[in-house]
Structure 1
Amino acid sequence: MPQITVDYSERLADGFDRPAFARDLHTAVVDIAAAKPPACKTRFRRTEDVVVGPDTDGHALVHVHIALLAGRTDETKARLTEAVLELLRQYVKPAEGLVLHASAEVRDLDPSYRKFEE
């Protein structure tokens, strides 16, 4: 915990500093949501096809999903979401002519969530 997944358009691969984004995102999750640094895990999933409205060209997407153990207030989740969007502004530089659509959500993990480390 937290489980972080970042879906991003393939067209952003060269303009998205993913390691720096993850490092600063982990810091934000620790500072805002009281997570423990070693517990922060982020995976990036590159998406090949993106369609926005009727357009198949000229758009790129980034969506960040953060799943936390229950107990954070809605205000804390909103602060974290805003921090994520600010980090995306800092670390995603789309190629000329691309419109970037960035979004984030913070949700509670289901009570059935379990994990192990070996």
Structure 2
Amino acid sequence: MPHIHLEYSDNIDTLEVKPMLLALNQALLDGEFVQSGNEVKSRAIKQSDFVIGVDGDAEAYLHAKVSLLSGRDEATQSAISKLLLKTLQQNFKAPTDLAVQICVEIIEMPRNSYSKFVLKA
């Protein structure tokens, strides 16, 4: 479990989506925030309808929403946020014509209401 939703503005044409998602997953595994790589589910969503500020033509964003089951303390949540921000920065080839805001948001999912079933092949 965590779920990573990577949202990015469609004016970014330098993002290699699958390698970025793999890097985020690997960072959580290497940081020992998950026991198995299969625990992490990540996906990316390109957003074409967005506005940044009022004069945002040369603005773009990468925004990672990380959903975690409740129970992790604030220090762990902060460590995950900082690790994934660093991973985004290190693996993103920034366009030269845009200012890009890179953000990580931690979202707690109530453990008692999250349900999961794995259908094995």
* TM-score w.r.t. length of structure 1: 0.87
| C-alpha distance in 2 between matches for 1:3 and 1:64 | 10
Structure 2 CA distance for partners of 1:35 and 1:48, relative to 1, 3 Å: farther
The alpha-carbon deviation at position 32 of structure 1 amounts to 4.2
Where structure 2 has 5 or more consecutive residues not aligned to the other structure, the ranges are none
Q: May I ask how many residue pairs the two structures share in their alignment? A: 117
- For 1:42, the equivalent position in structure 2 comes to 42
1:33-85 CA distances to partner (integer Å, 9 max, x unpaired)? 23431111101000013322112410111110111122211111111111111
| C-alpha distance in 2 between matches for 1:34 and 1:109 | 16
- For 2:93, the equivalent position in structure 1 comes to 93
- For 2:77, the equivalent position in structure 1 comes to 77
Deviates most, 79-88 or 29-38 = 29-38
- For 1:11, the equivalent position in structure 2 comes to 11
| C-alpha distance in 1 between matches for 2:24 and 2:48 | 24
| C-alpha distance in 2 between matches for 1:105 and 1:36 | 22
Instruction: Quote the RMSD (CA, aligned, Å).
Output: 1.6
Percent identity, please: 27
Where structure 1 has 5 or more consecutive residues not aligned to the other structure, the ranges are none
Structure 2 CA distance for partners of 1:68 and 1:35, relative to 1, 3 Å: farther
| C-alpha distance in 1 between matches for 2:96 and 2:50 | 17
- For 1:57, the equivalent position in structure 2 comes to 57
- For 2:118, the equivalent position in structure 1 comes to 117
Structure 2 CA distance for partners of 1:11 and 1:35, relative to 1, 3 Å: farther
Task: Please say if residues 62 and 102 of structure 2, whose CA atoms lie closer than 8 Å, have aligned partners that are also in contact.
Answer: yes
